[in-house]
């Protein structure tokens, strides 16, 4: 039997939970794993220490679906979101993000005005501010790879020479690009070919040739895990995750830079956020010179020149910016137009 | 061991039955037991290491348990689970108990139709409930709020309260109520002094069922809750999808302990109420 | 006391007494209703209304009608069978409306909607919207149609595209149900099959998986229940804890355990490898196999509990009588004992089948690609493709399926025999 006293105690305890759990705070969302840890260390924690505002730092696995669901249902749960340029253009043109007042960005540590300090690409979209330059490449582990050392994107599709599972992120982005590049399409023609029905069919055919050997994952943090626990012999990954596994965890991983698809990550504000002012303040802080330089922990390059003086000389050669000639720039505009239809074709192809 | 008239084949059959039964019990229990030692693994893997198999004390550690307390998200999730579960249980138990009392009265019109309506939250697949609630609660600005999740969980918990209280009331003689009222007792007094003591075991088991329903529930939370309302199962779900690490196993072990306590409580209540019933 | 018995005794009562007792009955009826009412209102508001909203959403969809109302009015004049595209005026109206949408950043919504009716069209609409945003409104009012037809090598000259816009414009629609059943309307408006079968296959697969799980739980649960029902009460009570503990344990915990057991470097593989039974680890996780295995484990108590309680109530002397009358043990067991356990088997089967057909969490976590069930595709359309209307239609069909199963069961067996542990 519940005594009255115990009941009151229970009510009191839960009331205490209520006040602590309902305290006002802002929600920021990013990709988790090593990258999330670097952001926590160099952007979130210093911001809280400086301003006293609390940030609930959540993970998501990218894409615009969750943002869209929030905006369309009017149920806004996130305030600030770290979004890939590949999704940014679409999210912005579909009205899922707030317009960011870029003229309020602070000057660099060296006094150079923000407009000159940031790279052009970082401020190219009105909805956000570039946060890092990063890239998607594939990696293998010296422990598990058989048949030699892969060095070209075509090797990813060559299951005869390099047997074993390939882990790819479950979405058309980058996979379609790689399929065409591996099939011999020149990087310059890539998006033109991909915008035709024949080009899309060609990409799907190429992917079909290894479909049985593909392991799909949803979140970037799964990539190094799959490589580590033997779930796949080659994985598609954000370069920082592999870098961190090699640097911090001493894993025998190798990155293949051929045909890497580089891109920016951008801080943006979800349309209808109830904490818009706070969110803008956070973005101004997070994209200032020093916090940005902290992303070198995971080999992601800063988007403003004034940050580079904080970057370790040894890390410079590991940044995507040192490998631009081997890679392709992801087209946010292409994916804004084709993300929808290729997304559906891709899902249908998956279910086939 | 067996009756003497059993033939060889009957004995063999009994052995076969015993082996099947015990292996089924093993099948039921092993997955729950296996995570206990794994949660003490010093390495961040989901498997037994050499050291663990050799009972090397250095291979075991409590660090994943410490990790729970050091991680704000887990602490918030634990608070939320108890907070949401507590209020959902209160609402479900109060409403469900009254409804069950009303439903078992012979004067209640359309009994079976109301019964079907009230236990439907148990039958409709959670994904459908969750999707519908997402649409509806968003319009009312209840999505992403504690109240929304509590209401949703209370709705999911009520069928269990109705069923258990119903069972407790099945042998209830309503003339006792009339007798009590006839002797001049006020209805509220009658309720607490006559009805309540008889159905208390049913109400408590119902409340426990309602609590565990909320405590375990993840689909509705997945659709309805915002980052602030993260619960333990929700945190486990994203952990399993994104970054598997043994903290989840440590949480899982703690949850097994919670379930064991619930189970023992409910069995204790049942044994006692059976004693009371058969004793009278 | 019911109304019928009341009438039968009424002869012996005075009119006053009848009136009194009728009023009494009415009061008690009201009291019973008052007890039930709060929960009924609560369930209606918190549970039934949301499901109603979902059902409504599966056929009511005004989005396109709200985005391009003028164009749709104009399109009413257009004969879609003519083989020609709509007239200049319609095209100009559309161009202007699309420009407005681009400015308000809602052109993407229109593209998404039309793309569902005509896959591949979203890129054209988005591309056009982006171009139109920069063009002068006055200019467009004069020759917007020509501009539109210039985009992407004249793709706007396809009558099918305009047909798709017209179709998407209808506020009440059956198209999500058609999609959910792998059907579509061709350009003449008659219902035809889609080239790729996705959803019917998934329904079928979910039914199959649910059936396998039900059969497995019967097969595994029956001997254990029999053993428990015939064991000494004290032993049975202790062993029952091993059934009830999994029952009370969070399903996330049990799913986690299966991941730990089955993964590539998991407990099962490393055990088998250290015993030298296998040399390379088996791929067990993320498949239909792991889904069925984990779900069988999770749902087994739902079979054992009703089965056990029915078996407990069977008097063993029937079976013994059959044996002592010279019946062979196995035929006697099948012919005498088994039929008596049918209420337990059927109650357990209903529970297991209905729960498993709508299962989401376990397939989502251990199912990989081929272990996905219908709930997972509903969740996918809710969370990833944002096609909420299709999710609602798929959900409504699933709900209908479950109601049918439940109704058949109620007719055959009666739902009231279901009890919890």
Q: Taking Cα atoms as reference points, which of A111, B272, B115 lies closest to residue C39?
A: B115
**In this structure, is residue B93 part of a structural domain?**
yes
Smallest CA–CA distance from A339 into chain C, residue: C123
DSSP state of A100: P
**In this structure, is residue B103 part of a structural domain?**
yes
**In this structure, is residue B147 part of a structural domain?**
yes
Instruction: Give the integer Cα–Cα distance in Å for C334 and C331.
Output: 5
Instruction: Give the integer Cα–Cα distance in Å for A154 and C86.
Output: 47
> Under an 8 A CB cutoff, do A66 and C383 touch?
yes
- Torsion angle defined by CA atoms of residues C406, B166, B119 and C208, in that order, rounded to the nearest 10 degrees: -40
**In this structure, is residue B256 part of a structural domain?**
no
**In this structure, is residue B7 part of a structural domain?**
no
pLDDT value at position A18? 45
> Under an 8 A CB cutoff, do B138 and A75 touch?
yes
A338 chain-C contacts, CB cut-off 8 A: 122-123
Q: Taking Cα atoms as reference points, which of C294, C407, C275, C295 lies closest to residue C357?
A: C295
Instruction: Give the integer Cα–Cα distance in Å for C297 and A163.
Output: 34
pLDDT value at position B277? 63
Q: What is the pLDDT of residues C360-375, one digit of tens each?
A: 999 999 988 788 899 9
Residues A33/A228, Cβ–Cβ less than 8 Å: no
Residue of C406 and C316 predicted with greater confidence: C406
pLDDT value at position A1? 39
Give A258's Cβ-side CA count (13 Å radius): 12
Q: What is the pLDDT of residues C125-134, one digit of tens each?
A: 999 998 999 8
Is residue A162 over pLDDT 50?
yes
A59 chain-B contacts, CB cut-off 8 A: 238, 242
pLDDT value at position B3? 64
Q: pLDDT confidence of B194, banded at 50, 70, 90? A: confident
Residue of A32 and A235 predicted with greater confidence: A235
Q: What is the pLDDT of residues A113-133, one digit of tens each?
A: 999 999 999 999 999 999 999
Instruction: Give the integer Cα–Cα distance in Å for A342 and A350.
Output: 12
pLDDT value at position B275? 73
Identify the sign of the CA torsion A55, A60, A63, A69: negative
Is residue C148 over pLDDT 50?
yes
pLDDT value at position B8? 80
> Under an 8 A CB cutoff, do C35 and B164 touch?
no
pLDDT value at position A21? 39
Instruction: Give the integer Cα–Cα distance in Å for A74 and B12.
Output: 66
> Under an 8 A CB cutoff, do A351 and C198 touch?
yes
Residue of C163 and A10 predicted with greater confidence: C163
Q: pLDDT confidence of C266, banded at 50, 70, 90? A: confident
B13 chain-C contacts, CB cut-off 8 A: 329
Question: Would you tell me how many other CB atoms lie within 10 Å of the CB of residue C287?
Answer: 17
Residues A66/A118, Cβ–Cβ less than 8 Å: no
Distance from CA of A135 to the nearest CA of B (A): 20
pLDDT value at position C415? 63
Give the best residue of C33, C39, C306 to mutate against chain B (max B CB count within 10 A).
Answer: C39
Q: At A255, which helix (H) or strand (E)?
A: strand A253-269
Distance from CA of B7 to the nearest CA of A (A): 53
Using CB atoms, which residue from C244, C252, C420 is nearest to B236? C252
Instruction: Give the integer Cα–Cα distance in Å for C149 and C323.
Output: 88
Beta strands (DSSP E) in C174-213 are 183-185, 191-193
Distance from CA of B70 to the nearest CA of C (A): 21
Give the best residue of B51, B115, B131 to mutate against chain C (max C CB count within 10 A).
Answer: B131
Q: pLDDT confidence of C325, banded at 50, 70, 90? A: confident
Q: Taking Cα atoms as reference points, which of A101, A117, A41 lies closest to residue A279?
A: A101
- What's this model's pTM, rounded to 2 decimal places? 0.88
A335 chain-C contacts, CB cut-off 8 A: none
> Under an 8 A CB cutoff, do B158 and C42 touch?
yes
Range scoring the smallest mean pLDDT among A69-78, B252-261, C1-10, C75-84: C1-10
Is residue B237 over pLDDT 80?
yes
> Under an 8 A CB cutoff, do B241 and C46 touch?
no
Q: Print the domain residue range for B114.
A: 78-230
**In this structure, is residue B14 part of a structural domain?**
no
Using CB atoms, which residue from A65, A197, A344 is nearest to C383? A65
Is residue A55 over pLDDT 90?
yes
- Those chains having 3 or more beta-carbon pairs within 8 angstroms of chain C are A, B
Q: pLDDT confidence of C9, banded at 50, 70, 90? A: low
| Alpha helix positions (H), C263-386 | 267-274, 288-312, 316-324, 329-332, 338-357, 361-366, 374-383
Is residue B58 over pLDDT 90?
no
pLDDT value at position A6? 54
Residue ranges of chain A assigned to CATH 3.40.190.10: 24-133+265-325, 135-263+331-351
Range scoring the smallest mean pLDDT among A83-87, A271-275, B224-228, C116-120: C116-120
The structure tokens 């179709």 sit at C167
- Expressed in angstroms, the distance from the first to the final Cα of chain C is 32
CATH assignment of the domain containing B169:
1.10.3720.10
Residue of A168 and C410 predicted with greater confidence: A168
Instruction: Give the integer Cα–Cα distance in Å for A95 and A78.
Output: 15
Residues C246/C326, Cβ–Cβ less than 8 Å: no
Fold of A24-133+265-325: D-Maltodextrin-Binding Protein; domain 2 (3.40.190)
Smallest CA–CA distance from A66 into chain B, residue: B223
> Percent of chain B having pLDDT more than 90?
55
Is residue C351 over pLDDT 60?
yes
Q: pLDDT confidence of A183, banded at 50, 70, 90? A: very high
Q: Which of B 83-112 lie inside 8 A of C, CB atoms?
A: 91, 95-96, 98-99, 101-103, 105-109
**In this structure, is residue B86 part of a structural domain?**
yes
With 0-12 CB in 10 A as exposed, 13-18 as middle and 19+ as buried, what is A164?
middle
C379 chain-B contacts, CB cut-off 8 A: 127
The structure tokens 């043994």 sit at B246
A341 touches chain C (CB under 8 A): yes
**In this structure, is residue B109 part of a structural domain?**
yes
Q: Which two tokens stand for residue C357?
A: 């057909």
Range scoring the smallest mean pLDDT among A194-198, B110-114, B139-143, B167-171: B167-171
Query: For A135-263+331-351, which CATH superfamily applies?
Result: Periplasmic binding protein-like II (3.40.190.10)
3-state class (DSSP) for residue B65: helix
Phi/psi of residue B110, each to 5°?
50, 40
Instruction: Give the integer Cα–Cα distance in Å for C165 and B145.
Output: 38
- Please state the domain count of chain B: 1
Question: Would you tell me how many other CB atoms lie within 10 Å of the CB of residue A119?
Answer: 16
> Under an 8 A CB cutoff, do B228 and A218 touch?
no
Query: Taking phi first (over 0 means left), then psi (-120 to 50 degrees means alpha), and beta for anything else, what does residue A289 get?
Result: alpha
Using CB atoms, which residue from B76, B86, B138 is nearest to A21? B76
Range scoring the smallest mean pLDDT among B160-164, C184-188, C231-235, C264-268: C184-188
């Amino acid at each position: 039997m519940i005594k009255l006293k115990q009941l009151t105690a229970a009510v009191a305890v839960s009331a205490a939970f209520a006040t602590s759990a309902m305290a006002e705070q802002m929600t920021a969302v990013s990709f988790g794993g090593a990258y999330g840890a670097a952001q926590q260390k160099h952007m979130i924690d210093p911001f809280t220490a400086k301003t006293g505002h609390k940030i609930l730092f959540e993970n998501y696995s990218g894409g615009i679906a969750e943002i869209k669901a929030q905006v369309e249902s009017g149920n806004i749960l996130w305030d600030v979101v770290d979004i890939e340029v590949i999704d940014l253009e679409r999210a912005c043109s579909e009205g899922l993000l707030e317009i960011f007042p870029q003229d309020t960005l602070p000057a660099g540590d060296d006094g150079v005005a923000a407009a000159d300090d940031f790279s052009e690409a970082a401020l190219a979209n009105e909805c956000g501010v570039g946060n890092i330059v990063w890239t998607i490449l594939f990696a293998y582990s010296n422990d598990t790879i058989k048949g030699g050392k892969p060095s070209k994107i075509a090797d990813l599709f060559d299951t005869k020479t390099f047997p074993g599972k390939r882990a790819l992120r479950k979405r058309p982005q980058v996979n379609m690009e790689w399929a065409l590049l591996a099939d011999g399409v020149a990087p310059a023609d890539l998006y033109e070919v991909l915008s035709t029905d024949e080009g899309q069919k060609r990409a799907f055919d190429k992917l079909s040739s290894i479909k049985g050997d593909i392991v799909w994952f949803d979140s970037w943090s799964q990539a190094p895990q799959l490589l580590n626990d033997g779930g796949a012999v080659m994985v598609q990954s954000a370069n920082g995750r592999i870098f961190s596994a090699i640097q911090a965890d001493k894993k025998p991983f190798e990155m293949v830079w051929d045909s890497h698809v580089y891109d920016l990550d951008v801080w943006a504000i979800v349309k209808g956020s109830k904490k818009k002012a706070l969110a803008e303040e956070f973005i101004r802080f997070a994209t200032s010179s020093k916090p940005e330089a902290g992303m070198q922990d995971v080999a992601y390059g800063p988007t403003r020149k004034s940050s580079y003086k904080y970057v370790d000389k040894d890390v410079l050669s590991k940044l995507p910016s040192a490998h631009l000639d081997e890679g392709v720039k992801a087209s946010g505009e292409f994916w804004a137009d084709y993300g929808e239809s290729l997304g559906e074709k891709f899902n249908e192809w998956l279910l086939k | 061991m067996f009756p003497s008239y059993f033939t060889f084949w009957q004995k063999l059959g009994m052995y076969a039955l015993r082996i099947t039964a015990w292996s089924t019990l093993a099948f039921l229990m092993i997955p729950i037991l296996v995570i206990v030692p794994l949660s003490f693994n010093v390495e961040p893997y989901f498997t037994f290491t050499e050291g663990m198999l050799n009972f090397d004390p250095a291979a075991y550690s409590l660090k994943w348990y410490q990790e729970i307390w050091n991680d704000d998200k887990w602490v918030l999730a634990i608070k939320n689970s108890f907070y949401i579960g507590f209020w959902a249980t209160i609402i479900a138990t109060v409403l469900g108990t009254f409804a069950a009392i009303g439903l078992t009265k012979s004067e209640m019109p359309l009994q079976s139709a109301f019964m079907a309506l009230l236990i439907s939250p148990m039958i409709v697949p959670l994904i459908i409930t969750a999707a519908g609630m997402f649409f509806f609660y968003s319009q009312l600005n209840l999505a992403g709020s504690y109240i929304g999740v509590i209401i949703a969980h209370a709705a999911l918990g009520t069928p269990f309260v109705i069923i258990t209280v119903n069972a407790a009331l099945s042998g209830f003689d309503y003339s006792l109520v009339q007798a009590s009222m006839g002797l001049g007792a006020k209805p509220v007094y009658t309720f607490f002094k006559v009805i309540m003591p008889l159905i208390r075991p049913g109400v408590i088991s119902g409340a426990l069922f309602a609590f565990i329903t909320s405590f375990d529930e993840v689909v509705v939370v997945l659709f309805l809750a915002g980052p602030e309302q993260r619960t333990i199962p929700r945190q486990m779900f994203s952990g399993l999808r994104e970054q598997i690490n043994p903290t989840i196993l440590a949480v899982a072990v703690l949850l097994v302990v919670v379930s064991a306590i619930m189970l023992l409580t409910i069995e204790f209540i049942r044994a006692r109420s059976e004693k009371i019933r058969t004793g009278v | 006391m019911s109304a019928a018995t009341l009438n039968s005794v009424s002869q012996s009562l005075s009119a006053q007494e009848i009136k009194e007792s009728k009023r009494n009955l009415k009061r008690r009826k009201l009291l019973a209703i008052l007890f039930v009412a709060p929960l009924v209102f609560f369930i209606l508001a918190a549970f039934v209304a949301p499901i109603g909203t979902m059902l409504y959403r599966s056929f009511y969809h005004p989005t396109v009608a709200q985005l391009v109302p003028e164009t749709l009015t104009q399109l009413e004049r257009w004969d879609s069978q003519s083989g020609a595209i709509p007239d200049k005026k319609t095209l100009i109206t559309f161009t202007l409306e699309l420009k407005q949408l681009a400015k308000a950043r809602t052109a993407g919504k229109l593209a998404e909607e039309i793309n569902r009716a005509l896959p591949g069209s979203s890129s054209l609409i988005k591309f056009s919207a982006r171009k139109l945003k920069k063009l002068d409104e006055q200019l467009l009012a004069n020759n917007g149609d020509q501009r539109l037809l210039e985009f992407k090598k004249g793709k706007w000259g396809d009558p099918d595209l305009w047909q798709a816009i017209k179709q998407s414009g209808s506020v009440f629609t059956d198209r999500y149900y058609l999609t959910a059943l792998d059907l579509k309307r061709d350009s003449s408006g008659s219902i035809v099959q889609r080239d790729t079968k996705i959803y019917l296959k998934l329904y079928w697969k979910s039914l199959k998986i649910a059936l396998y799980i039900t059969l497995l739980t019967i097969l595994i649960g029956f001997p254990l229940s029999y053993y428990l029902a015939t064991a000494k009460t004290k032993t049975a009570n202790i062993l029952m804890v091993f059934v009830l503990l999994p029952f009370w344990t969070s399903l996330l915990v049990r799913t986690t355990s299966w991941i730990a057991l089955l993964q590539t470097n998991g407990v099962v593989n490393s055990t088998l490898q250290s015993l030298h039974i296998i040399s390379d680890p088996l791929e067990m996780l993320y498949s239909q196999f792991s889904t069925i295995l984990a779900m069988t484990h999770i749902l087994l108590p739902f079979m054992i509990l009703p089965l056990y309680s029915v078996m407990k109530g069977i008097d063993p002397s029937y079976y013994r009588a059959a044996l002592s009358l010279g019946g062979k043990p196995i035929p006697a067991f099948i012919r005498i004992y088994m039929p008596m356990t049918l209420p337990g088997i059927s109650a357990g089967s209903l529970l297991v089948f209905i729960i498993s057909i709508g299962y989401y969490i376990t397939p989502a976590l251990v199912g990989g690609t081929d272990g996905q069930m219908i709930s997972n595709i509903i969740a996918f359309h809710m969370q990833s493709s944002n096609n909420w209307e299709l999710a609602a239609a798929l959900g409504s069909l699933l709900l209908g399926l479950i109601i049918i199963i439940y109704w058949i069961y109620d007719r055959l067996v009666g739902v009231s025999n279901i009890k919890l542990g």
